[in-house]
Amino acid sequence: MFSSTWNFLKRHKRKFIFAGAFVGGVYFLGKYAQKKIREMQEREASEYIAQARRQFHFESNQRTCNMTVLSMLPTLREAILHHLNSESLTTLLKSKPANKLDIWEDLKIISFTRSVVAVYSTCMLVVLLRVQLNIIGGYLYLDNSVSKSGMMPLAPPDVQQQYLSSIQHLLGDGLSEMITAVKKAVQNTLGGVSLKQSLSLQELEQHLNQIRAQVEEGDGGSTHRPLSWYMMPDEENTLAAQACGLTENDVTTIKLLNETRDMLESPDFGTVLNTCLNRGFNRFLDNMAEFFRPPPGAQGDSTPITTPDSLSHVSLPVAKIIPIVNGQIHSICSEIPSHFVQVRANLPLGRISIFESQHKM
């Protein structure tokens, strides 16, 4: 029996070898496939977790940005009111001075200037803070990712504070220069408009567009500055101010500032800022439209007419428009969450800056 079995095995030895090799190959191939599938699943899970962390980090950063904007609006409002103090002029008018007409003309220019500046500066504050917080957020995200490796942080607290303090340019020299540019544009556009002349809401919008065109595109003069200059000083001035005794943190801060400056000069940023400005000025006109509504029954109907066509037939003397425009700054720069703030805060800017900063590092 054993001999016959042995003879059978000898006769079919090659077949058994091939069969064993095939079965063994299938077994090890199955093990290898299981290992690769497990590695793929682990990698996908890791990528999903990393994406979820980035998304949470991004959303948390946006909430921080919105809260920071609201906290800074009172400071911005007070700075504008300090530079463009119309209240002193209204006080003079109550005393019935001899130069009453001249004071009204000054009040016209100051009122329009401070409302236009309020829209510009708040929009710039929103987009600049969004860029800054997302750039610094990108560094902090990487710092948190490599914290266990014992590496030095890319953005230590001193760098963060020094970098974020650059926002003071917008509230200081940048704001002063912006006021000068806007005031000149307002003077060119509205200086010749009589106080007795009536303007419709559409005509008011046309005047605002003319003012914006001069501010954003210039009037042919040599002193025109891009809007990004009001948000950050020239690169040469920044480096010159810190040229002596630069520390490692100073070098990192300058790197962050240069990244920010590159972002402010990019076409994507220009598109986002322009969108924000359009929303801001549209909201300003919506607020003004409340005062251009015809009275009930003016068209022979007891229901107030609120269509755009009906508003175009309502006009107000410039003298009556001035106090309305003058008071808009308190709505534009309100620290209380409002629709005006929301239309500027809900902008798709954050993802551009946070991921761009990560790719650069």
Interval 85-97: pLDDT, tens? 999 999 998 888 8
Residue 298 is predicted with a pLDDT of 54
Q: What is the mean pLDDT of residues 230-259?
A: 73
The arithmetic mean of pLDDT across residues 258-273, rounded, is 89
For residue 137, name the pLDDT band (cuts at 50, 70, 90): confident
* Cα distance between the two ends of the chain: 77
46: number of CA atoms within 13 Å, CB side?
7
pLDDT of 350 > 50? The answer is: no
Mean pLDDT of 307-316: 69
What are the tokens at 223?
Answer: 């002193």
What φ, ψ does residue 219 adopt, rounded to 5°?
A: -115, 25
State phi, psi for 196 to the nearest 5 degrees: -85, -15
The confidence score (pLDDT) of residue 254 equals 87
The pTM assigned to this predicted structure is 0.76
CA dist 64 and 58 (Å) reads 10
Which residue is associated with the tokens 């020239």? 234
CA–CA gap between residue 126 and residue 72 (Å, rounded): 10
Residue 142, CA distances (Å) to 81, 145, 207, 328, 358 in order: 41, 5, 48, 42, 8
Q: At residue 271, does pLDDT exceed 50?
A: yes
Position 360 pLDDT exceeds 50: no
Residue 163 has pLDDT above 50, yes or no: yes
Amino acid at 92: L
Residue 221: how many other CB atoms lie within 10 Å: 9
Give 146's pLDDT tier (boundaries 50, 70, 90): low
Q: What is the mean pLDDT of residues 263-283?
A: 91
Band of the pLDDT at 354, cuts 50, 70, 90?
very low
Check whether 282 has a pLDDT greater than 80. yes
Q: Which element (helix H / strand E) includes 62?
A: helix 13-83
Helix (H), strand (E) at residue 195: none
Please give the C-alpha separations between residue 316 and each of 90, 258, 287, 288, in angstroms, as whole numbers: 20, 48, 15, 11
The answer, yes or no, to whether residue 239 has pLDDT greater than 90, is no
Nearest CA-CA partner of 128 in 258, 251, 273 = 273
Average pLDDT, the chain: 77
pLDDT range class, residue 52, cuts 50, 70, 90: very low
DSSP string, 101-160: HHHHHHHHHHHHHHHHHHHHHHHHHHHHHHHHHHHHHHHHHHHHHSGGGTPPPSS-HHHH
φ/ψ of 18, rounded to 5, equals -65, -40
What confidence tier does 162 reach under pLDDT thresholds 50, 70, 90?
confident
